[in-house]
Structure 1
Amino acid sequence: MDASFPSLWFLQALILTSLLTVHAQLPGAWELLVLNAGVASMHTAVTRFNTVVLLDRTNIGPSRKMLPKGHCRYDRNDAVLKKDCYAHSVVFDLKTNQIRPLMILTDTWCSSGQFLPNGTLLQTGGDLDGLRKIRTFEPCEPDGFCDWVELKDVELVNGRWYATNQILPDGTVIIVGGRGTNTVEYYPPRKNGNGAVELKFLSDVEDNQMDNLYPYVHLLPNGHLFIFANNKAVMYDHQDNEVIREYPELLGGPRNYPSAGSSLMLALDGDFSTAVVVICGGAQYGAFIERSTDTPAHGSCGRIVATDPNPSWEMEDMPFGRVMGDMVMLPTGDSLIINGAQTGTQGFDMASNPCLNPVLYRPDQPVGLRFMTLNPGTIPRMYHSTANLLPDGRVLLAGSNPHYLYNFAAEFPTELRLEAFSPEYLSPDRANIRPEIKGIPNMVRYGETFEVSVSVPLPVVGIVEVNFGSAPFATHSFSQGQRLVKLTVTPSIPDNGRYRIKCTAPPNGAVAPPGYYMAFAVNQGVPSVARWVHLVA
């Protein structure tokens, strides 16, 4: 049986259950999904079986979800629990809202992750006994019993705490940086036996508040990597271990951990040759060093065409200063900026004034018109919270634990509730133009032409898009591996009450690395429920 809740926290949560869906004059709607997920999710990933893996530290003390009877973890070095029979990872079934405990053996505090081409979740590093560990989770049907596996025959060459993972065009994963680790390495290890390779850029930008942690890594359509740390960025050739371009410095101070801005690469479309990176928000420099909880976060965003021969940053301001915000790529190509605080910095008990209003970022609008303020939530989501796009177009919010251990009596308590935010495209008045995918291949190859069949309540006007969205690994205000690719499509053709759309799969792994993607049909800005498609060479 799960451990009981502190009465005050439980009473507050029960009151909120009477407000399952909140509507306001501003766009967007909120929905409370689960009162007790058991763990405060520091790391979150959506699987192709429409389940969600939630993952916390192992040395956090008692969670609120027990492992199955007879399953316990023994760690004589654990400062809190030598015999630990509590779950620190769970899997969440989106259809039933049921939670199943998972067994994780070594510390995953501030670790990294990425899905492999076969759909297995690769999870790397952490702290203490998890520093060099590699773990996998091979997802299964919601009624299955898949669980974490800790690899015995291979470890990381360097310890990785606060690193970033990115899948590459050939399906291997690069693991970048970490605290005190200014190198990169690969999984599986490269055959040339180089192991970990120094990336001097990371040490060059390191400062006394460590703003090179959790670097922002984006795979560009030319096959190179855009790597941003502190306030600088480079284009990195991972094949030859060579920095081939240095970008201009981004104004506004550091953006990475612990300054905690966020970043994404905008949707790839057209001939897929242009990549645009956006970086928003962050703490004022020095807030982390001074442990200041009331220093205002800044609201500046920088936008750069990373593939331009002469790139420069275009600056604009969000409606709110925000630290620890999450940027989520939506199926339409717009993005959602959600979670975080308006003052302070990342770290335990180092932020206040939660930023409850999400913001919609519309990249196709001119400067000054790109941001739209959305309906505020009621649950603060600050340090160690996550946001993930779901196959039905909603955004899942999980976690928030600004404390060293679980603490339900603090001003900003440990958060076990799961909720979903529905963008305006899911509002009832858009239901009559929402498409439904009736037919799509389960697997497509690069460059292949294939058909998608959709139905729409009202006649289609204009082009119905088909867009591939990745399932990233969300942690610490950055979604590792996040990507949206807008496929080349032909106008839809009416066919017995449905519409047939001819699509061309992405041309290569630099545009879309191999793996499972959520395929959305988008009609007049309204996405369908996604179908999972396996993209292979």
Structure 2
Amino acid sequence: MRSMRIPSQNWRWMPAATILVFLWWLLPHAVRGQDLGTWELLMENAGIASMHTALTRFGTLVMLDRTNIGASQINLPDGKCRASNDLVLQSDCSAHSVVFDPATKTVRPLFLMTDPWCSSGQFMPDGTLMQTGGDFDGLRKIRTFVPCEPSGTCDWVESTTQELQSGRWYSTNQLLPDGRQIVIGGRSAFNLEFIPPNANGPLYFPFLNATNDDQNDNLYPYVHLLPNGNLYIFANRDSIEYDYSTDTVVRTFPQIPGEPRNYPSAGSSVILPLLATNNFSVVEVLVCGGAQYGAYLNSISQMPCSSTCGRIVVSDPNPTWVMDNMPFPRCMGDMILLPTRDVLIINGAQQGSQGWTNAVNPTFSPVLYYTYASLGYRMVALAPTTIARMYHSTANLMQDGRIFVAGSNPNQFYVFNVEYPTELKLEAFSPPYLAPSHDLQRPTVTVSPLQITYNTLFTITVAFPVPLTSELEINLVNAPYSTHSYQQGQRLVGLAVSALVQVAQASVYQVTLTAPSTPTVAPPGYYMLFAVNQAIPSKGVWVLLST
């Protein structure tokens, strides 16, 4: 049992001591007492406000912002400058992308030639970050970043031989089982394409036309790869199952109740953990938050954001949306799959919508969503930050289990003397499972293979401060591309534990596991492997999943 509310009647007559014991039993380990998470300021000034953020397999975080914004607060090295046709600066000697090293709390400037404003991205199977589209001179651009050790000099490379088949601004990328990427939608782009490209050019995608409205509430569509190889695609309030290999809509799902959920109304979505224990046969999607229709068109009204989450079992033959209420309204919130198989909802505002100065009343408190708790008992508000993280903010799971939080710029340019300024600070949120009170349950993965192959057995070594007394979970979590309240490609796969053997030391175990069965369950690439004991995770260990 992860979370439960106290019955509303009769308990008030219980003796005080009995009530305390009763409360201790009811509350989940992760939130009892004062374990509501903690915040840490990592850096006062990163030089840029990160609009897009991705975690690399070296533990560093790549951050990007617009180029067409004037000078940032960090210069390019060695006097390098960028000549461009930008509206603000034609010669820009500042950086608009940096790589942050959490170990040293330092940033290194990176060189971007074209504008990645409101672009999209995803890691390739070899760990290369592919970043696509943007605005102005970046509309059709394909950029790659091959990560390196924190001491390295890796940088962005913009292709001079390949470009997108259609201009992409506010689109979504998804890595496919064969290692290609599919890029879907964007402003005035009712189509999709593949990288590497197919021979027929971009494919017209009627679903994007059908979900369009006066606000364009179908931008940054939510795209989730299903274990059967098809795609679940959600835009505005509608969703479909799409077979990209035949360009066919296989199923149409019921419309989610309530408000529009995509940009600019800006809710968020995750595909919930896929588990070997049910042979990856139960597939659920969660969509939380959004804004009332008209909040973007009539931004001066500052309408309340949505307070609902919808959850649907897309693997059911007759699925329906099951609705739940968040502790407070939220739009522009990021949803992060945690190593414990739960979900963290973080960042955002309680009124308005995405867009410059379109929102007020920041949502300072994250919410912990317990995936396997009963309806009505799934959400707990956690410790608040003091920094507003609204339009153009990001959140990413780190290897040590913390959540990296960056960005927020509700202004067209870098502005600091307003109520909601351009935010250059970097923070980390430690969820309740990182509280020192849980250290005796915390596992450590001491030996792990660097590479695993599909549907094969492999063995890891896990150590504990005390002997293991409960079931052990092993989860693979990938590194998505975080932008505009959506983690593109985010995925968690729970592995099957085939054997658990205690070795010579009393608290050290060899764990034999079965790798994911197929690339449709987990596309090839780098994943963090977490051991989880009593909802307390280890640090993640990077492994490469390949054929």
**TM-score when normalising by structure 2:** 0.92
Q: Give, in angstroms, the shift of residue 368 of structure 1.
A: 0.5
1:509 aligns with 2:489: no
The residue matched to 1:292 in structure 2 has which SS? helix
1:134 aligns with 2:122: no
Query: Quick one: which amino acid aligns to residue 263 of structure 1?
Result: S
1:520 aligns with 2:530: yes
Residue-by-residue CA offset, 1:66-105 (whole Å, 9 max, x unaligned): 0002311101x21111100000000001211110000001
1:167 aligns with 2:175: yes
Give the alignment's Cα RMSD to 1 decimal: 1.1
- Which of 280, 283, 288 is 1:280 aligned to? 288
Q: Give, in angstroms, the shift of residue 306 of structure 1.
A: 1.1
Alignment partners' CA distance in 1, 2:281 and 2:377? 26
- Which of 188, 202, 208 is 1:202 aligned to? 208
Alignment partners' CA distance in 1, 2:516 and 2:499? 18
The residue matched to 2:354 in structure 1 has which SS? coil
Pairs within 5 Å for 1:36-51: 36-51=45-60
Pairs within 5 Å for 1:104-253: 104-190=112-198, 193-253=199-259
Alignment partners' CA distance in 2, 1:196 and 1:291? 34
Pairs within 5 Å for 1:291-330: 291-292=299-300, 294-330=302-338
Alignment partners' CA distance in 2, 1:307 and 1:186? 26
Query: Quick one: which amino acid aligns to residue 64 of structure 2?
Result: L
Q: Give, in angstroms, the shift of residue 462 of structure 1.
A: 1.8
Query: Quick one: which amino acid aligns to residue 249 of structure 2?
Result: V
Q: Give, in angstroms, the shift of residue 293 of structure 1.
A: 5.5
Alignment partners' CA distance in 2, 1:494 and 1:396? 35
Residue-by-residue CA offset, 1:454-475 (whole Å, 9 max, x unaligned): 1110111122211100100000
- Which of 410, 431, 434 is 1:402 aligned to? 410
The residue that corresponds to 1:368 in the other structure is 376
1:30 aligns with 2:36: no
Alignment partners' CA distance in 1, 2:144 and 2:231? 24
Pairs within 5 Å for 1:67-106: 67-75=76-84, 77-106=85-114
Query: Quick one: which amino acid aligns to residue 213 of structure 2?
Result: D
1:477 aligns with 2:477: no
Alignment partners' CA distance in 2, 1:228 and 1:99? 36
Alignment partners' CA distance in 1, 2:522 and 2:307? 31
Residue-by-residue CA offset, 1:112-157 (whole Å, 9 max, x unaligned): 0000000000000000100000000000000000000001111000
Alignment partners' CA distance in 1, 2:452 and 2:317? 33
What are the ranges of 5 or more consecutive residues in structure 1 without an aligned counterpart? Answer: 1-23
| Mapped contact 1:293–1:350 kept (Cα < 8 A) | no
Alignment partners' CA distance in 1, 2:40 and 2:500? 34
Q: Give, in angstroms, the shift of residue 27 of structure 1.
A: 0.7
The residue that corresponds to 2:8 in the other structure is none
| Mapped contact 1:463–1:491 kept (Cα < 8 A) | no
Alignment partners' CA distance in 2, 1:402 and 1:25? 33
| Mapped contact 1:462–1:491 kept (Cα < 8 A) | no
- Which of 372, 376, 394 is 1:386 aligned to? 394
| Mapped contact 1:292–1:345 kept (Cα < 8 A) | no
The residue that corresponds to 2:426 in the other structure is 418
Residue-by-residue CA offset, 1:206-234 (whole Å, 9 max, x unaligned): 01100010000000111000000010000
How many residue pairs get aligned? The number is 512
Q: Percent identity?
A: 56
- Which of 339, 350, 353 is 1:345 aligned to? 353
The residue that corresponds to 2:466 in the other structure is 458
| Mapped contact 2:35–2:435 kept (Cα < 8 A) | no
Relative distance call for 1:330 and 1:441 in structure 2 (3 A) is same
The residue matched to 1:430 in structure 2 has which SS? helix
The residue matched to 2:79 in structure 1 has which SS? coil
The residue matched to 1:41 in structure 2 has which SS? coil
Residue-by-residue CA offset, 1:474-511 (whole Å, 9 max, x unaligned): 00000000000000013532112211111000001110
Alignment partners' CA distance in 1, 2:455 and 2:337? 24
| Mapped contact 1:299–1:321 kept (Cα < 8 A) | yes
The residue that corresponds to 1:357 in the other structure is 365
The residue that corresponds to 1:10 in the other structure is none
1:54 aligns with 2:63: yes
Query: Quick one: which amino acid aligns to residue 243 of structure 2?
Result: D
Moved more, 24-33 or 370-379: 24-33
Alignment partners' CA distance in 2, 1:511 and 1:225? 12
Alignment partners' CA distance in 2, 1:334 and 1:284? 27
Residue-by-residue CA offset, 1:431-459 (whole Å, 9 max, x unaligned): 11111111010000000100010111011
Alignment partners' CA distance in 2, 1:127 and 1:289? 22
Alignment partners' CA distance in 1, 2:213 and 2:103? 45
- Which of 250, 254, 261 is 2:267 aligned to? 261
The residue that corresponds to 1:533 in the other structure is 543
**TM-score when normalising by structure 1:** 0.94
The residue matched to 1:332 in structure 2 has which SS? coil
Query: Quick one: which amino acid aligns to residue 60 of structure 1?
Result: I
Alignment partners' CA distance in 2, 1:372 and 1:109? 34
| Mapped contact 2:498–2:514 kept (Cα < 8 A) | no
The residue matched to 1:249 in structure 2 has which SS? coil
The residue that corresponds to 1:19 in the other structure is none
Alignment partners' CA distance in 2, 1:517 and 1:218? 17
The residue matched to 2:224 in structure 1 has which SS? strand
Residue-by-residue CA offset, 1:307-364 (whole Å, 9 max, x unaligned): 2111110011101100100000000100000000000100000100000010000010
Q: Give, in angstroms, the shift of residue 160 of structure 1.
A: 0.2
| Mapped contact 2:259–2:306 kept (Cα < 8 A) | no
| Mapped contact 1:109–1:126 kept (Cα < 8 A) | yes
Relative distance call for 1:293 and 1:476 in structure 2 (3 A) is farther
